[in-house]
Each structure stands twice: as C-alpha cells, then as structure tokens.
C-alpha cells in the first residue's frame, strides 16, 4: 500500500474532510509531495512501512499550510520564475535546432531534465525554509539546464541572476535536495556547476 492509498482510505473511512493533493499517481505531476517521518516523498510512489504501527505525515516544509497536507506553493513557483525557466531561442539558428546525442552539453542536460516541480528538494532544504530570497534547488537546477544549452540566448543574463543575490552562494551544500529528489536529480551538483561557470566559461567545463 502506498502512502496515497492510506490517505484515500482514511478520507473514505474516517475523515472525509482530510486535505491532500494528488493527480497523476505515476510520479509525473509532482502534486502529492509530503513528508513521511520527516523525509520528503511522493505519496503515490512511497510504500507505507510494513514494520511500523504508526507513521507521521506532515506537509511539505518551508511553505504555508493551507489545510492538513495542502500547502501554498506560490513561493516555490515565484522562485522558478526568477530563472526564466524556458528556452529563449537564439536568432541565428535554423529550426529545428538540435543537440547532437554525442554532444558534451547533453551529458550535462539529460540527467537534470526530469524535474516535475514536486518541491521535495525545497522541502528538504534548510536554506529555502528559512530564507524567502533564496532561489532554491529546483529553480537552480532548471537554470543549469538552460545555461548549458547552446541553443539558448539568455544564458548570460540567467547566469548573472542565479549567481547574484539569493543565488548559488546561499547554498550550504547539505545535499538534502539531492538525497530526497524522487526523480533522482542532483540539484546540488547543478548549483556547483553554476558557481563554477560564473568563474570560467561553460565551454571549458569538465562535466562535473
Ligand atoms: S529537482 Fe527533484 S525534488 Fe526538486 S522539484 Fe524537481 S523533481 Fe522535485
Ligand atoms: S500524484 Fe502525481 S506525482 Fe504523485
């Protein structure tokens, strides 16, 4: 039984007013994030521990609780917006512009692409919880993907934004974001790269 099944059973059998979010049930929408015994997880993908009589469920940390397990995600998405989270196409490229499968930048981009905006990284980041001006691990990971993309025309401005106030220098490298990302992404590594790219051109990066 998944945590989401448990919540649905509680709602059905004990408390019809219990508040929680879900949609896809297949780890794609990112809406069902909560904390299970303090760890940020997707409720639809996380089994209820079999060896326990009780578990503790809490809402995502660092965001205002609206009701029960439902939080207001506005701050998370405001941070996302600060990095211009979409590709700004260069004018001089012929469409469709592609990144070759063997291109070095693909090694940087592909492992960081699968973000579903679930906020588990945000929930496990003490800096995000305590500081509204920190851009946050998910948004910084997205920024790294776009700065690495040679088809993008906004890389320099984006890099300036994420290495300025509230940006990468606020990270303490506790690695909670990378440890708890349910999609296996590594936002802490993305933050390290952005720090390095501020100091030397991306083309000279060694991929680590
Ligand atoms: S980086 Fe991982 S934990 Fe953070 S929002 Fe994206 S998928 Fe969720
Ligand atoms: S319900 Fe969509 S990720 Fe869990």
Q: Which runs of consecutive H residues, i.e. helices, occur in 94-175?
A: 104-109, 120-123, 126-130, 137-148, 155-162
128-174 tens-digit pLDDT = 887 778 999 999 999 999 999 999 999 999 999 999 999 999 999 89
Question: Is 140's C-beta closer than 6 angstroms to any atom of ligand 1?
Answer: no
Strand locations in the chain (E): 33-36, 39-42, 57-58, 65-67, 70-71
Question: Is 118's C-beta closer than 6 angstroms to any atom of ligand 1?
Answer: yes
Rounded Cα distance, 122 and 117, in Å:
10
Q: What is the pLDDT of residue 96?
A: 87
From atom 6 of ligand 1, which residue's Cα is the shortest distance away?
115
191-207 tens-digit pLDDT = 999 999 988 766 555 44
12-68 tens-digit pLDDT = 999 999 999 999 999 999 999 999 999 999 999 999 999 989 999 999 999 999 999
Ligand 1 pocket test target in 75, 138, 189 with most atoms within 8 Å of CB: 138
């Amino acid at each position: 039984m998944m945590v989401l099944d448990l919540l649905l059973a509680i709602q059905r059998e004990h408390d019809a007013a219990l508040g929680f979010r879900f949609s896809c049930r297949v780890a794609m929408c990112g809406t069902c994030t909560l904390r299970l015994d303090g760890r940020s997880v997707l409720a639809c993908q996380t089994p209820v521990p079999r060896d326990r009589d009780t578990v503790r469920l809490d809402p995502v940390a660092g965001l205002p609780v609206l009701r029960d397990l439902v939080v207001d995600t506005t701050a998370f998405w405001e941070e996302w917006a600060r990095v211009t989270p979409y590709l700004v196409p260069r004018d001089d490229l012929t469409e469709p512009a592609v990144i070759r499968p063997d291109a070095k930048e693909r090694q940087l981009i592909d492992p960081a692409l699968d973000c579903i905006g679930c906020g588990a990284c945000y929930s496990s980041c003490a800096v995000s919880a305590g500081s509204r001006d920190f851009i946050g691990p998910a948004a910084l990971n997205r920024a790294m993907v776009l700065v690495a993309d040679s088809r993008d025309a906004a890389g320099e401005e984006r890099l300036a934004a994420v290495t300025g106030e509230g940006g990468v220098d606020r990270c303490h490298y506790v690695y909670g974001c990378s440890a708890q990302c349910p999609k296996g992404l590594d936002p802490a590594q993305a933050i390290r790269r952005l720090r390095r790219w501020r100091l030397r051109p991306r083309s000279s990066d060694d991929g680590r």
